[in-house]
Structure 1
Amino acid sequence: MTCFSFLCNRRLKSATKHAAELDELSGFNNVNIYSYKELRIATNGFSDINKIGEGGFGSVYKGKLRNGKMAAIKVLSSESRQGVKEFLTEIQVISEIEHENLVKLYGCCVEANHRILVYNYLENNSLAQTLLGGGHSSIQFSWPTRVKICIGVARGLAYLHVDVRPHCCPPRY
């Protein structure tokens, strides 16, 4: 086998695998499929200027989609042990969830080794920074308002862990 035929065969297998992933996603309702290039453009190359958060699962960037909507674009860490099947299952479950205390999933990117989730963007930095202070937000909440917000967060979490079938957030041990 020549080097050229090896590379062509490898690219063909990768393209076939990607097509199968996209085909599986096409059956999901309410899930937009974004290309990596489109999300890279939306975030100005995943620029640090647009980074709005970072955690164990990856980084989150503010981005402007082609349709003009602002989005929170969560680039999952390459160290994640989650496989494509699990990622697609998670997308299917999350895409069906609508709750007043949870952000809406717009769509995703499953391209090569990129696993990216695209959510509705909410202004005013993170809720944790706003509630606890020390963030860049100028919003000041009274303690009764903070309690109401925390109860709303608890309701959102309870909905995810109790009411959603199948459970989208398995316990971590």
Structure 2
Amino acid sequence: MLRYVRRILLICCLIASPFSALAGSAIVPFNPEPVTLPAELGGDRVTRAVIEALVIRGWRMTEINRDAGYIDAELPVRAHVGRVRVRIGDRSISFEYRESDNLDHGWLTAPPTGSRGDSGEMHFSPVRQSEEAVEAVHRNYLAWVNELARTIDGTLMLAGMEQNG
């Protein structure tokens, strides 16, 4: 029973304020909100808009799979590399973390209730230690993917204007 209460508390904490438990930390939950597709745009125009945004932001495409509806890309920044899968659906574009180099990918867990030194802060581990653990990565990865999402939104808007204008 206590296990389920902890899980519910962890989920509520992350939903209510995803970054409050991590204030000042470089590790954050990832995968930004999906980008909604304009109704008037079709497959090839959407894929082209995503590719344009990837190029604008400096991401290297490692695989384009039109049949499965995704583009894999990576962004090298100094000694760090973030890899994302941009999944193109019928109504939205979503982002899935694939892997990274030197970006502190791991798992966040709530401290055991009543533990010594329990400050209420989340604990980070490179290995998943419980079912309650939440996947996390360095905040720079999230910033890079959020910038990519905003740029994709802009290129989709321009593609819609070109089609209508």
Name the TM-score class by shorter chain.
under 0.3
Scaled by the length of structure 2, the TM-score of the pair is: 0.27
Structure in which a larger fraction of residues adopt helix: 1
Task: Give the number of the structure with larger relative contact order, counting CA–CA contacts within 8 Å between residues 6 or more apart.
Answer: 2
Structure in which a larger fraction of residues adopt strand: 2
